[in-house]
Structure 1
Amino acid sequence: MRSMAPLNWGLLPPSFLLPSSTRSLIPIVSLSATPPHTTIRTIKSVNTPRPDRFAHHPKKPALNSTSRAALARKAVTTPLRTGLLAQKRGMTAVFDPQTGKRTACTVLQLDHNEIVAHKTREKNGYWAVQIGAGSKLIENTSKPMLGHFAVAGVEPKRWVMEFKVRGKEGLGLPVGQTVGASWFSVGQWVDVKGISRGMGFEGGMKRHGFGGQPASHGQSLMHRGMGSAGGSQGSGSRVLPGKRMAGNMGNESVTVKNLKVLQVDEANGIVVVNGCVPGPKNQIIKVQDAMGKPWPAGPMNLDEILPTSAAPPAAAAPV
């Protein structure tokens, strides 16, 4: 709204509008009069300003849309160091020698984990470590990947995946370095991610846990049917989007959080975690520090890994 000109209250009109008998009194009145008061007319709002609808909290400023601000927001949930790739070997159980409690666990085996590349903020827009595991024949590897492995100085890998890290300090492992099971410590919490076991096309009872139809009272070969899929006029004479129906089950990415590391075997590359892990046997699994737990005081490079205690040498036999 355009502001209006101020009204100058208390000022005398022009001299030509005054009668001739009072014109001689103008100098006296102007000297004795108080300074004029200037009043500015405006509108005062009684409503509090509404918060920005793009702000994540009404009392905080709006979120920035730059890539640097996006990395800063994700820094809390980004691990400090890289994870490793492991293969699921199967499930077993361990006993606690103090309490005698039997705990189900999964055995994960690391297969020649090596650092293939580093992703930096300046070049790639984020910080990450590229891990390669397993082995692959040269004739089964494409030429671009052969050149990628040759630059890193590692043999062709069967699996290559990335692990995002918070900053430059997460790139403590040099390219070409081999990382073993001692990267994880007993008692820490990890998150595992893998592809679940595919089950093919399944019905509603197995896929979503439906109760099925009655087993009697006139049911004819529809005991495991899911029933009606859509209403009439109530739903617009159609099946609503997102309706749980029969379809492909499994074969999707699954993350299991907060699994405790029970045992670590550096010589055989074995890491034993508590509970179950998605996928069948020999499935590749991503293992990294748990995001829902405090970050472990683990090593950031191989120099910080304490060497394993070697067995004392056997005494020489007497001659």
Structure 2
Amino acid sequence: MAGLIGRNIGMTSIFVENGEHVPCTIVQVGPCYVVQIKTIENDGYFSIQLGIDDKKIKKTNKSLLGHFKKAGLSPKKKLIEFRNSSSSVIPFSLGSLIHIDLFKEGELVDIQGISKGKGFQGVMKRHHFSGVGERSHGQHNRSRSPGSIGAGSDPSRVFKGKKMAGKMGKKNITIKNLTILKIDTIQNLLVLKGSVPGNKNSYLMIKKKKWN
């Protein structure tokens, strides 16, 4: 199995064995249920679709209700598909529950999620510009300005992709090689070294570096 779905609980810090004080993120994993199994014969590739957290039936459309009913499950809030190149053995069946024991302490994982949305931001915050220089007499409110954005008569336009002010954040971000420091099998918690993308309670895709 390639991984599981989790929710970002928040950050804290712990002491590791060598006495180092490290920042870490607590992620609640699952319970994850197998909603769909895609095969090369039927879909052209192999993957397992997982679902997490129950959703009200009245807030689910009929097509999704049939999708969950086929797996014998109640509607789920979040669905994520984990692709795998190896389909020789399918260790799970439709509707089965996958536990946190899929991971091991000390293992490296990749975390994928939607980063925090920061709204419309200027060039200094968005692209780390340094501003137009020191303020002087007659230079009014220009210290955080982007400055010149292109030539005048030729080419008489601004090229696409120019670093300017605009919406920042809320992008699909993957942070690779985070170490699992601790695993709480009772409360289904992972303690990861470092930070992960997204707000608190946002969903995360936790991918194993080595698939089973």
Look up the match of 2:37.
118
In structure 1, distance between residues paired with 2:194 and 2:31: 24
**Aligned residue in 1 for 2:92:** 173
- Aligned pairs for 1:116-265 (under 5 A) are 116-169=35-88, 171-218=90-137, 219-232=139-152, 236-265=155-184
Q: Is the 8 A contact 1:231 1:237 kept in 2?
A: yes
Larger relative helix fraction? 1
Q: Relative to 1, partners in 2 of residues 1:135 and 1:279: Cα closer, same or farther, differing over 3 Å? A: same
Whole-Å separation in 2 of the counterparts to 1:126 and 1:240: 40
| Gap change, CA 1:279 and 1:170, over 3 Å in 2 | farther
Alignment CA distance shift 1:275-1:170 (3 Å): farther
Q: Which has the higher strand share?
A: 2
Counterpart of 1:106? 25
Pick the aligned partner of 1:272 from 184, 188, 191. 191
Give 1:215 shift: 3.4
Structure whose alpha-carbon radius of gyration is higher? 1
Distance 1:189 1:170, change over 3 A: farther
Match runs of 1:87-106 below 5 Å: 87-97=7-17, 99-106=18-25
- The structural deviation recorded for 1:232 is 3.2
Percent identity over the alignment?
37
In structure 2, distance between residues paired with 1:105 and 1:118: 33
| Runs of 4+ displaced beyond 4 Å | none
1:82 CA drift (Å): 2.4
Q: Report SS of the residue matched to 1:130.
A: strand
How has the CA–CA distance of structure 1 residues 170 and 240 changed in structure 2, closer, same or farther, with 3 Å as cutoff?
Answer: farther
- C-alpha RMSD of matched pairs (Å): 1.4
Gaps of 5+ in 2: none
Q: TM-score, normalised by structure 2?
A: 0.95
CA contact (8 A) 1:82 1:170 kept: no
User: Taking structure 1 as the reference length, what is the TM-score of the superposition?
Assistant: 0.64
8 Å CA contact 2:112, 2:205 repeated in 1 = yes
Structure 1 unaligned residues grouped into runs of 5+: 1-80, 301-319
Partner of 2:3: 83
Letter in 2 for 1:195: I
Partner Cα distance (1:174, 1:166) in 2:
18
Q: Secondary structure at the match of 1:185?
A: coil
Q: Secondary structure at the match of 1:261?
A: strand
User: What is the number of equivalent residue pairs in this alignment?
Assistant: 211
Amino acid of the residue matched to residue 120 of structure 2?
F
Distance 1:105 1:171 in 2: 33
Report the Cα offset of residue 170 of structure 1: 5.8
Cα offsets for 1:155-211 (capped at 9, x unmatched):
210001101001214631211111121111111110000000000000000000000
